[in-house]
Structure 1
Amino acid sequence: MTAATTDLFAFGEERLEELTSARRSPFFAYDLSTARERYRRLRAALPGRVRLAYAVKSNPGLPLLETFAAEGAWFDCASAGEVSAVLAAGGTGSGMVFAGPAKSERDLQAALFAGARVQVDGIEDVARLHVLHTGTEPLRVSVRVNPASGVSEAASIIGGGGPSAFGVDEEELEDFLAQAAAYERVRISGVQVFAASNELDAGRLLANHRTSMAIARKVQELLGRDLDLVDLGGGLGVRYAMSQPSLDVRSLGAGLGRVLDENPWFAGELLLEPGRWLSAPTGVYCARVVRTKVSRGERFVMLEGGINHLLRPLMTGQSFPTLALRPGVGVLGGSGVSAGGRPPLEGGDDVPRAEGGELVPTTLAGPLCTSLDRVGTSDLPTDLRPGDVVVFGQAGAYAYTQAMTHFLSHPAPDQVWVD
């Protein structure tokens, strides 16, 4: 396979054939060496004052957390369960931030027990932490701010401006900070702004980061003391189609260096919270074809797995890259492979190739008894047959743990970790 193709599917063709031939469908497979390489590539591109906190929500698999912990990553957690998973993987509370718009008392207790940096979303969080914190020194926390304007993203998932369940509205900051000052056991010393989701344009991300720094400066002036942390959130995107560009992390890193130079008032650390960028390219989801049909002019391929395993295409309207594979034969083609429908095979042009037929628009449907069970659309070969496998790329993020696993009581898919 070409480098452009393996960037979407984690594994080369030979390895995909081995996996699909040896395992029952459906299953997820993840390549930990890809996770390690991507973390190191991003770390090398960033200034030293920029910390990396892996967003656990994207994929909380223990082998993945262990891999990032061994690399020295911080972690962005949003539940007591994620805190426990990070600690079990070797992470520490000193390298952990804790977020969420509706934190339960159990969540806050877990974060405090671990020693995580809590991001407060309102005065209620401050009041409860004031009661729960038992240390002799004030508890340092960050405030999440919902920006009034100046942010831009391609698709609003958990960032952007406008009304939001997250954070304190920027225009209410002064009142919030005045109220928070009454709770002497809690000390606001950081700011978090999450202003993008799956953004592929480094320039757009940097424009949002400059907005975040302007907000942070306002908070520092209102507090009358230095901030030690500005959390820029996540939003580092991955491509879901061959036609899309990849995020230029070198440009992002160089731009963040300029952002620091432009803000000499800030002497603390910046924090990035990439999740999808680190985890998505590590994983694939593989499901066998059960049957195909044409209904009133629309072509369907029915798979052994559906939104009970892969919900995100239904939620966002964005399909994962796909390719069709026939065990023992090879890749037939798909929307996620290079021009012509089939990627070059290792070994040269004289290697036998699968003949997959013409690529045609196809709706991918699962086994659930609901018309909602659609896991995307793709250009797939006309001669797909039962037993062939559809491989979904970029499935290492927002897949296994985001799906409707228990709906209709189908078994959960296996997860295979490869290093």
Structure 2
Amino acid sequence: MVVESVRARAVRLAAVGDLPAYVYDLPGLRAHAGAVQAAMAGSAEVFYAVKANPAAEILRTLRPFVDGFEVASGGELALVRELLPDAPVVFSGPGKTDAELALALDPGVERLHVESPGELARLIATGARLDILLRANPDLPGEDVRQAADSPFGMDPDGLAACVRLLRDAPRITPHGIHAHLTWGRHDAPAMADLARRVAAWALPWLREHLPEVTEPELDLGGGMGVDYGAPHTRFDWKAYSAALADLGGSARLRIEPGRSLTAYDGWYVTDVLDVKRTHGRHYAVLRGGTHHLRTPVARGHDQPFTVIHRATSGPALTGTATLVGQLCTPKDVLNRNAEVDGLRVGDLVAFGLAGAYAWNLSHHDFLMHPQPSFHYVDGP
């Protein structure tokens, strides 16, 4: 459902031919981020994952509601330092270059997450004084961590052991704990909390045994709080998650890094219908723009939820099941497949919801060289 301020802006943009457009509801974002902040208070620090949406207006809006920002590249770090020079930052990401490791010397970088023994060795060779977490990819029980175990991220026990050996001769590098981001896109808060307990049950004894100098351990649990694109009115249960984490807080300083689950709900990709057609028994609505602007449904393999804003009063009307596609010369340019529409006409607007994260910044903008969308940040009625 499109909030009224976004609907009104979409209609005005259509009237002046300024579509496609991304429209963000900043009051809605503040309300949601504030609710997450209140829910997590006392259980875990909240660092926003900049990769989800690095727009300057989004970062500035979130700043009062988060403890800091998680960055995964030198570019993201430079952006946050420019926009919010006093904001705490943790620096993650595989494949850090020497130049990026040098950027980690910025005093605003509270923790650097070490991905491998090789990365740690390069860090030690700089002679820098840094605070780090070791990114772990332990072989924990449960199918919910298989995607992490089959990924290149972090270290298994052998890699961690190699880091311990390196740290013995590296007094300028101070380890503080473990970073373990082991799942993505989980909607179930109790299941996410259970994963956090399994991580803690492994990580805290490991730290006591291998890095006993870490007397005040930190656990960064990453993100992964899911957004259900098939049920856009539902949200992750932050209160339940926080309550379940509370019993871990006495033994470790906890941090989480949500991205999508903070910003997805308050962004819309708005466009208009260029054509309606029937071919080989299927109905299609061809939209201006497409997945070169909003790649999310292709990247994640889902149908993007949408709302039709009816404007056209004449011409053929499409009612029934239709597939919503864009302008690209590829059959993969599909935003929603086999959707139910009622009286959809050329000239009507389509507002795709849950487009506030991993949307424009994830997309292949220059394919076919269509015009880029405009961007609008609605801050009031």
What TM-score comes out, normalization by structure 2 length?
Answer: 0.90
Q: In the alignment, what sits opposite 2:47?
A: 53
Contact 1:234 1:275 in 2 (8 A): yes
| Residue of 86, 96, 104 corresponding to 1:103 | 96
| Residue of 62, 65, 74 corresponding to 1:68 | 62
* 1:274 equivalent in alignment to 2:261: no
Q: Distance in 2 between matches of 1:61 and 1:42?
A: 20
Following TM superposition, by how much is the alpha carbon of 1:183 offset from its aligned partner in structure 2, in angstroms? 2.9
Q: In the alignment, what sits opposite 1:392?
A: 352
Contact 2:216 2:253 in 1 (8 A): no
Contact 2:33 2:62 in 1 (8 A): yes
Following TM superposition, by how much is the alpha carbon of 1:30 offset from its aligned partner in structure 2, in angstroms? 0.6
Q: Distance in 2 between matches of 1:219 and 1:327?
A: 62
Contact 1:193 1:232 in 2 (8 A): yes
Rate the CA distance shift 1:100–1:42 in 2: closer, same or farther, 3 A: same
Q: Distance in 1 between matches of 2:288 and 2:56?
A: 26
Q: Which moved more, 1:208-217 or 1:277-286?
A: 208-217
Contact 2:5 2:378 in 1 (8 A): no
In structure 1, runs of 5+ residues without a counterpart are 330-355
Rate the CA distance shift 1:192–1:147 in 2: closer, same or farther, 3 A: same
Q: In the alignment, what sits opposite 1:115?
A: 108
| Residue of 156, 162, 166 corresponding to 1:169 | 156
Following TM superposition, by how much is the alpha carbon of 1:22 offset from its aligned partner in structure 2, in angstroms? 4.9
In percent, how many aligned pairs have the same letter? Answer: 30
Following TM superposition, by how much is the alpha carbon of 1:177 offset from its aligned partner in structure 2, in angstroms? 1.9
Q: In the alignment, what sits opposite 2:365?
A: 405
Following TM superposition, by how much is the alpha carbon of 1:304 offset from its aligned partner in structure 2, in angstroms? 1.0
> SS where residue 212 of structure 1 aligns?
helix
Paired amino acid for 2:236: L
* 1:199 equivalent in alignment to 2:189: no
Q: Distance in 2 between matches of 1:214 and 1:278?
A: 28
Contact 1:151 1:195 in 2 (8 A): no
Rate the CA distance shift 1:173–1:72 in 2: closer, same or farther, 3 A: closer
- Deviation readout 1:162-198 (Å, 9 max, x if unpaired): 2221000145433432234333322221211112222
Q: Where do 4+ consecutive residues of structure 1 move more than 6 Å?
A: none
Paired amino acid for 1:115: G
Q: Distance in 1 between matches of 2:79 and 2:53?
A: 11
Q: In the alignment, what sits opposite 2:133?
A: 142
Contact 2:53 2:356 in 1 (8 A): yes
Question: Where do residues 3-402 of structure 1 align in structure 2 (5 Å cutoff)?
Answer: 5-6=1-2, 13-14=7-8, 16-22=10-16, 24-92=18-86, 95-116=88-109, 117-135=111-129, 139-153=130-144, 160-170=147-157, 172-221=159-208, 222-225=210-213, 226-242=215-231, 245-260=234-249, 264=250, 266=251, 268-327=252-311, 358=319, 360-377=320-337, 379-402=339-362
Paired amino acid for 1:373: D
Following TM superposition, by how much is the alpha carbon of 1:281 offset from its aligned partner in structure 2, in angstroms? 0.8
Rate the CA distance shift 1:36–1:73 in 2: closer, same or farther, 3 A: farther
Q: In the alignment, what sits opposite 1:351?
A: none
> SS where residue 355 of structure 2 aligns?
coil
Q: Distance in 1 between matches of 2:238 and 2:14?
A: 33
In structure 2, runs of 5+ residues without a counterpart are none
Contact 1:285 1:395 in 2 (8 A): yes
- Deviation readout 1:259-285 (Å, 9 max, x if unpaired): 33xxx4x2x421111111111011000
Following TM superposition, by how much is the alpha carbon of 1:215 offset from its aligned partner in structure 2, in angstroms? 2.8
What TM-score comes out, normalization by structure 1 length?
Answer: 0.82
- Deviation readout 1:242-273 (Å, 9 max, x if unpaired): 3874321111111111333xxx4x2x421111
- What value does the CA root-mean-square deviation take over the aligned residues? 2.4
Rate the CA distance shift 1:227–1:23 in 2: closer, same or farther, 3 A: farther
Rate the CA distance shift 1:177–1:20 in 2: closer, same or farther, 3 A: farther
Rate the CA distance shift 1:51–1:133 in 2: closer, same or farther, 3 A: farther
Q: Which moved more, 1:379-388 or 1:390-399?
A: 379-388
Q: In the alignment, what sits opposite 1:341?
A: none
Rate the CA distance shift 1:416–1:45 in 2: closer, same or farther, 3 A: same
- Deviation readout 1:81-106 (Å, 9 max, x if unpaired): 1112112222536x211111111122
